[in-house]
Copies of this chain bind each other. A is one copy, B any other.
């Protein structure tokens, strides 16, 4: 299906305001819809039914915005109170934004919150405000350590936002697994094999069978280096957010367990530096044979967004029907 953004937003809002305060619902829907607009459906409205189920099951409190405690002038400790991920995250980031005007840098460690969606959402918004952000999250253990047989590390994403001059922004957002579990499920659903470096099966053997990989472990991106980074993020977030680690993490892939992963936002009010010339030079670089040229991270997503705001957002039929059902009908 291809659905106008405004229609999607209205129907998703109708579904969520049945169980959540309007402003909180708006923040949650905004974030999910933004992922669909940018071509990241795995973090999009596909997740709305689970968000609603989690509220129904009492593991998400739709009214909570999080309890803020400044442990030091630049260190914000946030107990999310089981709130909606974006609601808790945006509240924390707003507090950091107030603070960095004085401290130059501030960090929030957030626990007891829910899935906050596409990390790049927060990093890009910060950069639009002229601030630099490093955002990190832990997640369920789906990635194996390099050389090991079992999943024990999250797909732990990082997003970095940097203002690059004249209101323009740089934003990158990547997970530290070589591929997402969603992509592996997608291959399994279509009966397609996966490349041999993507995953191990449940016994810890490399596999090209997507179905076998579903119960196995995803490889870290970039082999040993990506493993080192993903593990560093796991330890860093667990420490700063005082959240769960490794196989103990739950609540972003299920609908009935309290979510115990952590999120960390580092916000920096740095000097204004114009980096547009450098980025332009990168874009203009001749392509290596077989490639389409150099992309600047984040730009394909922004172009996709522009296009979909005009011509509609592709949504899987079953996702659309489920959301309409949760909204109590189309209009």
Contacts and interface: CB of A to CB of B under 8 A. Distances in A.
Contacts of A288: 144, 147-149, 200, 204-206
Contacts of A72: 100, 102-105, 269
Interface in A243-291: 245-246, 266, 268-271, 273, 275, 278, 281-282, 285-289, 291
Given A162-B239, A287-B148, A232 B297 contact: yes
A152 to B, nearest CB: 6
Contact of A278 (B146, B221, B246, B281): B246
A129 B109 CA distance: 20
Contacts of A189: none
A133 B245 CA distance: 19
Nearest to A297: B228
Interface residues of A, number: 79
A236 interface: yes
Interface of A: 71-75, 77, 100, 102-107, 109, 132, 134, 144-150, 152, 158, 160, 162-164, 170, 172, 174, 176, 178, 200, 204-206, 221-229, 231-232, 235-236, 238-240, 242, 245-246, 266, 268-271, 273, 275, 278, 281-282, 285-289, 291-297
